[in-house]
């Protein structure tokens, strides 16, 4: 049974994740699991992963609608990556459920530090705006899709911070198109991971609902704020990097204690 305090904290956590996704893009969902465990108070790391996967998928679907209307989604390339990644996400989720919860959180904290480094190094990429799915890039898309899907399923994350550079690497598309197209895969990976965890009874449905509601509200505000804060995008990105670094260090300290 979810308490009122848990519900409010879940909604607030969802709003924070949604806002960060709307303003910064890939990487925002990395906060979902630690927020579930350390702020909302979900005692089981696997339940936190299963619950956050579904919530992240909902946020990705909302963002995808906005980007699709803007015409910046490369559907062919994104579909091949997502299709291969669904297989990887399913396999990754099976392995993740077999790993001890505390060990999983420690590995998650280390992943967060990697994310911080990747986001700090991220730079705009002009690329080829006219790129389309072809026989030349399809094998690379399938390969990186399988790899990113496995990591996404194992840790229960959206994986946008991995999918975006993977799309750029495989197709040379501009960063803005990669960010938009990555949401197709984030949605697919999230649903696959959540389904796997749900069949094992590792999803807190009431908490998922309030997290999604908070995430949609935060995402809407984040998307609107992105235009107003465009000139401070680098500062926002660096602030977010510092935040997830601090959370990762806190998680490691808690694990060692």
State the pLDDT at residue 211: 92
- Ranges in the chain, pLDDT < 50: none
Beta-carbon contacts of residue 104 (< 8 Å; ≥ 6 apart): 45, 46, 49, 96, 155
- Return all residues near 216 (Cβ < 8 A) that are at least 6 apart: 14, 18, 58, 59, 62
- The neighbour count for residue 69, using CB atoms within 10 Å, is 9
Task: Read off the pLDDT of residues 47-63 as tens digits, 9 standing for 90 and up.
Answer: 998 998 888 888 888 87
pTM: 0.82
- pLDDT the model gives residue 105: 83
Sequence ranges of the domains in the chain: 4-256
Q: CA torsion, points 187, 189, 191, 192, in degrees to nearest 10?
A: 160
């Amino acid at each position: 049974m979810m308490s009122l305090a848990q519900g409010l904290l879940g909604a607030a956590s969802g709003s924070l994740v949604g806002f960060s996704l709307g303003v910064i893009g890939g990487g925002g969902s990395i906060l979902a699991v630690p927020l579930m465990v350390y702020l909302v108070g979900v005692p089981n790391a696997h339940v936190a992963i299963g619950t956050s996967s579904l919530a992240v998928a909902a946020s990705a679907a909302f963002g995808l609608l906005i980007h699709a209307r803007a015409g910046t989604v490369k559907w062919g390339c994104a579909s091949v990556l997502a299709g291969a990644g669904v297989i990887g996400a399913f396999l990754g989720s099976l392995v993740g459920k077999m790993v001890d919860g505390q060990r999983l959180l420690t590995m998650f904290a280390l992943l967060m530090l990697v994310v911080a480094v990747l986001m700090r190094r991220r730079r705009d990429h002009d690329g080829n705006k006219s790129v389309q799915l072809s026989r030349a890039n399809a094998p690379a898309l399938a390969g990186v899709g399988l790899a990113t899907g496995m990591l996404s399923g194992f840790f229960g994350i959206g994986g946008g911070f991995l999918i975006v550079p993977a799309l750029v690497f495989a197709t040379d598309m501009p960063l803005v198109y990669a960010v938009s197209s990555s949401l197709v895969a984030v949605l697919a990976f999230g649903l696959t991971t959540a389904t796997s965890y749900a069949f094992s009874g590792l999803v807190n449905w009431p908490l998922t609902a309030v997290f999604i509601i908070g995430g949609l509200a935060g995402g809407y505000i984040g998307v609107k704020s992105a235009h107003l804060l465009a000139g401070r995008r680098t500062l926002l990105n660096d602030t977010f990097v510092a935040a997830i670094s601090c959370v990762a260090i806190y998680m490691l300290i808690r694990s060692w204690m």
